[in-house]
Each structure stands twice: as structure tokens, then as C-alpha cells.
Amino acid sequence: MRKLNKFTTIGVIIFAITPLLRGFSIQLPCFINGLILGTGFAFTLMGMYSMNHDISKFKKYKMIFLKKCFNK
């Protein structure tokens, strides 16, 4: 079995946090709850994709995009 990468690990942690918040009686609005679950789902899918494919082009594009956004 392959080791989980950081994207998958982050996604699983985000998925685990949501039911734990409900267990501690912390009620989030539906929009925030959906946003958290969607982010966890996206990280999990990205991690599963990166196990079998090269995502170096995506990482390079992401860094270029962030530099353009935050340099100005």
C-alpha cells in the first residue's frame, strides 16, 4: 500500500474535523459546512490524482499565479 501524500492527508483531516465539531455542539452555518466539506473533497481528489500522475506542471503554474497575485 502506498503512503498517503500531503494532499490526501489534509483532505482526510478536514473530513474528520467536520463531524467532530458537531459532536462538541459547535453549529456552523450550512454554507461554511459545505465549504469545509468541499475543500476536503478537493484535497482528497487532488491527492488521489497525484498518486498516479505527475502534478509538477500544476505546482509550477500555481506558484506563477500566486507570484502574479501577491507581487503587485
Q: pLDDT tens digits, residue range 18-59?
A: 888 888 878 888 898 889 999 999 999 988 888 888 888 888
Q: What domain range is 31 assigned to?
A: 6-71
Give pLDDT, residue 54: 83
Question: Does residue 27 fall inside a structural domain?
Answer: yes
Question: Does residue 67 fall inside a structural domain?
Answer: yes
All cell numbers assigned to 8: 490526501
All cell numbers assigned to 42: 478537493
Give pLDDT, residue 25: 78
Give pLDDT, residue 72: 62
> Which of 15, 2, 11 is closest to 51 using CA atoms?
2
Give pLDDT, residue 23: 80
CB of 44 closer than 8 Å to CB of 7: yes
pLDDT over 60 at 1, yes or no = no
- Residue corresponding to grid cell 468541499: 38
Question: Does residue 1 fall inside a structural domain?
Answer: no
Question: Does residue 43 fall inside a structural domain?
Answer: yes
Under DSSP, the state recorded for 53 is: S
**What's the domain count of the chain?**
1
> Which of 56, 67, 61, 17 is closest to 37 using CA atoms?
17
